Amino acid sequence: MSLAVIFDVDGLLLDTERISSEGWRRAMSVRGYTLTDKFYLNMVGLTPKDVRPIMAAEFGDNFPFDEAYADRLEYIDNYVRLHGIPDRPGSRELLDYLKDKNLRMAVASSAPGARSREKLALTCLDDYFEVFVFGDEVVNGKPAPDIFLGAANGLGVPPQNCIVLEDSAAGVRAAHAAGID
């Protein structure tokens, strides 16, 4: 029986959620909006396509999402250029352990693929994984099961033989919807 582990990236393997949060805060502040921690948690694990209506519902239909999103990405890029991307404690040790046990591994992240692949390459984590599924490659983002079903399918492992490691409520709901622990 084949077993596999499917990983989220941002906030789980890489300590990027605080960088993303600060990017949103700065992008919104210059436009006169305030981002609370509680509201930010509603966006964690979602695709940009799914974040847009949440922000419109909270801040109004005229909220300049595209401009704020672009400023957020610029902040993240500048931060990474100056400081790199820190790992979450224990992430490499866990990946090494699973690799030593010959467990198959995949990435399933709501973030856009190009940026995620770049982060994984910059941190030299990409070599651990056989399959990569990103938010811009599925029809429905988390909390729908599409991303995890795509990762399990790509690995050729039934969902019930997978484990998902996830740090967001949307991701946990997506894993359960896919029939994965």
pTM of the model: 0.86
Q: Which residues contact 37 (CB under 8 A, 6 or more apart)?
A: 21
Residue 8 annotated among the catalytic residues of the structure: yes
| Whether pLDDT at 1 is above 80 | no
Nearest to 172 by CA among 41, 56, 20, 52: 41
Question: For residue range 87-105, what is the model confidence (pLDDT) as tens digits?
Answer: 999 999 999 999 999 999 9
Question: For residue range 62-71, what is the model confidence (pLDDT) as tens digits?
Answer: 999 999 999 9
**Please, what is the Cα angle at 116 between 88 and 9, to 5 degrees?**
30
Question: For residue range 98-125, what is the model confidence (pLDDT) as tens digits?
Answer: 999 999 999 999 999 998 999 999 999 9
pLDDT tier at 23 (50, 70, 90 boundaries)? very high
Percent of the chain's residues with pLDDT above 90: 91
Task: Give the residue carrying structure tokens 């692949």.
Answer: 117
Helical packing angle, 146-155 and 169-177, nearest 10°: 60
Q: Which residues contact 11 (CB under 8 A, 6 or more apart)?
A: 17, 44, 88, 167, 168
**Please, what is the Cα angle at 118 between 97 and 40, to 5 degrees?**
85
Strands (E), 33-148: 104-109, 131-134
**Predicted local confidence at residue 128, as pLDDT:** 97
